[in-house]
Amino acid sequence: MKKLSIHYQIMFIIAATLAVYYPTNFAEICLIDDYGAISYFFSEETFSLKSIFFPHSADGGYYRPLIMLSYILDKQLWFLHERLMHFESILAHLVNGLLVYYICREAVYLHLKQSETWLPFFAALMFTIHPITTESVNWISGRTDIMMGTFVLVSVMFLFRYVQNRSKLLFVLAIIIGFVACFAKEAAFGYLIAFPLLTLYKVEVRPNHNCLINILKLRRYILYFVCSFMAALFVGSYWLVLCIVLLYFIHITYKESEVFRITLSLQRISNLIGIILTTSLLCICLFVFLRRLVFTSNVSKIGQTMALMLADLNYTISLFLGALGFYVKKFFLPLPLNFFIIEIDPLYDFAGIAVLLLLCHLIVSNALPAILSLIGLLILLPALPFAFGTIAWTAYAERYIYLSSAFWIVALCLWGAQWLENNPARKTLVTSMAVIICLSSACLTFWRNIVWQSNVTLMRDTVTQTPKIRKLRNIYIKALLDHGLTNEALKQYRLAATDLPSPAHDEQADLMIGGKLVSEHNYKEAFQLYHDALQRTEFTSEPLLKASIKLLITMQSFDITSEAERTLNSELLKKYYYLLDGIIAKKRNLHNQGDQKS
């Protein structure tokens, strides 16, 4: 089949990406994070580089100054217009897709010694339209992943060129750009850990595995997986699982070095592990030093997460294995797509064990696809502690593997091409499967982009998949009210009041629904809603009391009630003022006691 020229391939990738993400151009500002961030930058008049890069604030959370700079630039150029900001995210994602194209070209030349191939085209197209990338592109706050991805992919481009000509300038540029990526998102530290994997890569003759060796390796893998599975299921000890994985690693290292002495040595593997451990320690120290430099104290959430990790290491290993298996599964089977994932099936622990055993093969191998896969996993590594649910607003997120998916796609393309070299008769079948995968991904991504267009459709989808979270239900109610769907909002409000477990009453939905009813002049219905809510809180809610007083005054001034109702409302006003004064006095006393103690 005649191949398209590079220019036509790039034009097709651009056209396909813009077409699939066309609905995103008309998406609303997401009520989660986006609205607050845009409102903040609209209200702030002046910014300084010192305050952005060295905020010196207490309890600093994320440190992502490049994202703040991007918002400031958006304000200066197009006044934070949502459509232009969405289009900006699409273009940035497209740039990353084109970087994947050229990275794959370099990888194909290094690994397969080929220059004319469809692999870069498929890799770039698959990355740009992969459903897992929709969250990062549609969510304006998700530009952190896209921006980090741009810097990391550019750094990888320089590294590939360094591998070919050993230019020190390219090596230094790769380090600098990789470090700059950390100012976009902290997950880039995972790339810095993986940095030596590519710098030490040397092109070698690929071993030609025969069928018997492959069967023996598969049997060995299954045997160790079953042992690990049994240890986790019946003994419940994940330390034992790690011991079995370590034994498996030693086993395959010995076997591989015995069969392929030319391409593998125990010394190379030990040096590689030592370098990874060293760079990991350096990156941790750099992360801590950077936070100490820019914040006056560390964020309590990080300390809390570290305490949880160390409190029960067996549970921590289990949690990390589950998260690892979940994210790898999400890459291959992204459905169901969900914006808010607070917990996952415990069975993902066993998928994580399978991935950990495969990780042993990646470390042992010196092949470029294995190195790229390892880089993707190490970039994912900083996201694993989020599974405790103490740092980010969601424990798991699809956007966490945005950049990892780029490396995994290129690695799979290289492995697929290598497999086809030994099975050329199956080229037509593989091509057909690739076309089906691309079409399916394009359809899923286009559908997901339509879901993201409106806060109502996004939150309806999210609440349907995670129905027991009151915060999500409140955001859904607000989205419905913003679109004038008051009756649907009331339905969700009643569902939240009856079906959702909560240790304390959540007054946010009461105030939203009541305020909307007042704006529509449904005063009596609003008053009844406030009264019922106050009864549930035993008349201890200051915001509800204030809203009720304001509503009663409005009802009295408009003379929309009977004489008996006016008398009753007057008595209620006195009661509510009395209760409100008591709450304010109690707060004032507590404040004075605190000042005396200090």
Q: Is the predicted pLDDT of residue 273 greater than 80, yes or no? A: no
Residue 592 confidence class, pLDDT cut points 50, 70, 90: low
pLDDT at residue 264 in the model: 47
Residue 461 confidence class, pLDDT cut points 50, 70, 90: very high
pLDDT at residue 212 in the model: 56
Q: What is the 3-state secondary structure (H, E, C) of 293-355?
A: HHECCCCHHHHHHHHHHHHCHHHHHHHHHHHHHHHHHHHHCCCCCCCCECCCCCCHHHHHHHH
Residues in the chain: 598
- Say how far apart CA 414 and CA 148 lie, in whole Å: 24
Query: Which has the closest alpha carbon to 342: 184, 243, 470?
Result: 470
Q: Could you tell me the pTM of the whole model?
A: 0.91
pLDDT at residue 1 in the model: 47
Instruction: Indicate the range of 31-35, 120-124, 456-460, 584-588 predicted with least confidence.
Output: 584-588
- Our measurement of the distance from residue 241's CA atom to the centroid of its chain's CA atoms, rounded to an integer in Å, reads 28
If you search the block for the tokens 């406030």, which residue do you land on? 530
pLDDT single digits (tens) 508-527:
888 999 998 988 888 888 98
Between 327 and 117, where is the model more confident? 327
pLDDT at residue 265 in the model: 56
Taking the domains of the chain in order of start, what are their residue ranges? 6-207+260-451, 467-597
C-alpha dihedral sign at 152, 158, 161, 165: negative
Mean of pLDDT values over 287-315: 81
Residue 263 confidence class, pLDDT cut points 50, 70, 90: very low
Q: Is the predicted pLDDT of residue 261 greater than 50, yes or no? A: no
Highest mean pLDDT among 160-174, 208-222, 344-358: 344-358
Instruction: Indicate the range of 149-158, 360-369, 405-414 predicted with least confidence.
Output: 360-369
Amino acid at 469: I
Percent of the chain with pLDDT strictly greater than 90: 48
pLDDT single digits (tens) 194-245:
888 888 776 654 555 555 556 678 889 999 999 999 999 999 899 999 999 9
Between 269 and 243, where is the model more confident? 243
Classify residue 502 as left (phi > 0), alpha (psi -120 to 50) or beta: beta
- Say how far apart CA 16 and CA 445 lie, in whole Å: 11
Give, in order, the Cα–Cα distances in Å from 574 to each of 257, 527, 540, 581, 588: 86, 16, 15, 11, 21
DSSP 483-515: TT-HHHHHHHHHHHHHHS--SS---HHHHHHHH
- For residue 341, what are the β-bridge partners? 396
Domain 467-597: top CATH class: mainly alpha
Between 152 and 63, where is the model more confident? 152
What mean pLDDT value characterizes the chain? 87
Q: Which two tokens stand for residue 470?
A: 């009151």
